Amino acid sequence: GAGVSQSPSNKVTEKGKDVELRCDPISGHTALYWYRQRLGQGLEFLIYFQGNSAPDKSGLPSDRFSAERTGESVSTLTIQRTQQEDSAVYLCASSPRARGSTDTQYFGPGTRLTVL
């Protein structure tokens, strides 16, 4: 079946502009995660959605970052007034249910964001 998809695959923007990144999880997966991967570093957790529960936003680095999810489907990560330090690969993952449980997270290919 189809995996996690993300769009765009690459995004180049100017400092100060807003960007929206999209994630389509695997159908039926109730949990959705966003991570940031800076060059040469591991994955940094950003935000987690689980069903209709309030999202866990504890990983968002600043109030310029926000995310939404429509039911148990598409999610968008929005970065307002982008800064050069926002340049990274943004990865989305989904899993059948609860975070931190035995469930495996399945990752999309990522969106490479470059802020000039």
Partner 1 sequence: AQSVAQPEDQVNVAEGNPLTVKCTYSVSGNPYLFWYVQYPNRGLQFLLKYITGDNLVKGSYGFEAEFNKSQTSFHLKKPSALVSDSALYFCAVSRDSGYSTLTFGKGTMLLVSP
> Which residues contribute to the site for partner 1 (CB under 8 A)?
4, 6, 33, 40-43, 45, 91, 93, 99-102, 104-110
- 6 or 82, CB closer to partner 1? 6
- 101 or 114, CB closer to partner 1? 101
CB 96 to partner 1: min, Å: 13
In 3-state terms, what secondary structure has residue 53? coil
- 26 or 80, CB closer to partner 1? 26
CA distance 43 to 59: 11
**Cβ-proximal residues to 25 (8 Å cutoff; 6+ apart), any chain:** 4, 32, 72, 73, 74, 75, 92, 94
CB 104 to partner 1: min, Å: 5
Report the candidate in 37, 36, 38, 34 with the shortest Cα–Cα distance to residue 47.
34
- 14 or 39, CB closer to partner 1? 39
CB 45 to partner 1: min, Å: 6
Cβ-contact 96, 31 below 8 angstroms: yes
